[in-house]
Every structure is written in C-alpha cells, then in structure tokens.
Amino acid sequence: MRRSVLIAYATRHGSTQEVAEEIAGVMRSLGNHVDVAAAELVTSLANYNAVVVGGALYTGRWHKDAVRFLKQHERALRHVPFAVYAMGPRTLSEQDVSSSRRQLDAALARTSLTPFAIAIFGGVVKPAELRFPFSRMPATDARDHAAIRAWAQQLSLETAA
Ligand SMILES: Cc1cc2nc3c(=O)[nH]c(=O)nc-3n(C[C@H](O)[C@H](O)[C@H](O)COP(=O)(O)O)c2cc1C
C-alpha cells in the first residue's frame, strides 16, 4: 500500500501553504499519497504514515494554528513520524535563520514532541497585503525552492518504511 502523508499548514498570507504544496508535489512524484490541509481543519491523523506541520512565524511566535495542531494531536504524533517547518526569515543569512529557528524551537519546547526533521524556509513579505506600519516593509521572497524540494525528498526517504 502507498504511504500516506499529511501536510498541515498554518498561514496568514499564503506563502506557507504554497510551500506545503511544493513539498507535496515532490513527495507525490516519489510515489507517496499526500493530503495538504489547513492545520485548523484536521480532525484525525489516523490514516497517515507521516505528518508534516508547517507554520509561519509572526512577531516571534509560530502561527497559533500550528501550535494548536501539535497540542491537539500530541498523542497521535508520538506514534507517527512527523516533521516541522517554519517560515520565514527575511534573508537566508545565518543570523536571520537562527533567530527564526529559536522562535520555532521555543514553540516546540512547549510540547513533549520531537520531530525527526526541522526546517526554516525564507519568508515572503507582500507589503500591499499588510496594514500600516507593516505595509512599509520591503517586499521580499527569500524562499530557496531548491532547498525546499531537497528537504521534501529527504522526508520521503526518511519516512520510507
Ligand atoms: C508583521 C510581520 C511579522 C513577522 N514576524 C516574523 C518573525 O518574528 N520571525 C520570522 O522568522 N518571520 C517573521 N515574519 C515573516 C513571515 O514569517 C513571512 O512573511 C512568512 O512567509 C509569512 O507566511 P504566510 O504568507 O504563510 O503568512 C513576519 C512578517 C510580518 C509581516
């Protein structure tokens, strides 16, 4: 039977969902069945052999729906391999990435869970979609699509039974 993977995302402006879809595309091309869903809408993990949870970081915190997802499914996630990613530093400098990583680690530390893989992907800022004063932020897209696809390949390999 094909492996079934859930990718649950928590987004405000869509880039975390786009990355979820990108990961899903790679994993599907490697033979996995993959569902992509908003984290808040997932009610059960019963049908999945692996789970990926992606969330955007805002003002130092991982998106509340990603945090809630881990709490709500904490018991199930102890028995299924799961990976997490967060968006998104403004640049891929070591300093920016490790700052975002600390924010994600702080969210994970409030659970009893240990993901088998953790990634930080560069973020996307579209000032036109933001309210003042954030509308003054420079437009950026720091996603490294090769790195995203490589991570998805690694997940597929590492969750292969
Ligand atoms: C107001 C605001 C605050 C942000 N705060 C953080 C932050 O604390 N850490 C971080 O890594 N990224 C931060 N970001 C960047 C977002 O995580 C990035 O834009 C991400 O791609 C947004 O994801 P979404 O499009 O799925 O909502 C912030 C962005 C905005 C607009």
Q: What sign for the dihedral angle of Cα 123, 125, 130, 134?
A: positive
User: For residue 10, how far is its CA from the centre of ligand 1 (angstroms)?
Assistant: 12
Closest atom, ligand 1, to C-alpha of 103: 9
Q: Is the CB of 56 under 6 A from ligand 1?
A: yes
Q: How far apart are CA 143 and CA 19, in angstroms?
A: 9
When the pLDDT of each residue in the chain is averaged and rounded to a whole number, the result is 96
Q: Is the CB of 103 under 6 A from ligand 1?
A: yes
More confident residue, 106 or 159: 106
Global pTM? 0.97
The pLDDT confidence band at residue 1, using thresholds 50, 70 and 90, is low
Q: How far apart are CA 30 and CA 32, in angstroms?
A: 6
The pLDDT confidence band at residue 161, using thresholds 50, 70 and 90, is low
CB within 8 A of 62, min separation 6: which ones?
A: 10, 55, 56, 86, 103, 104, 107
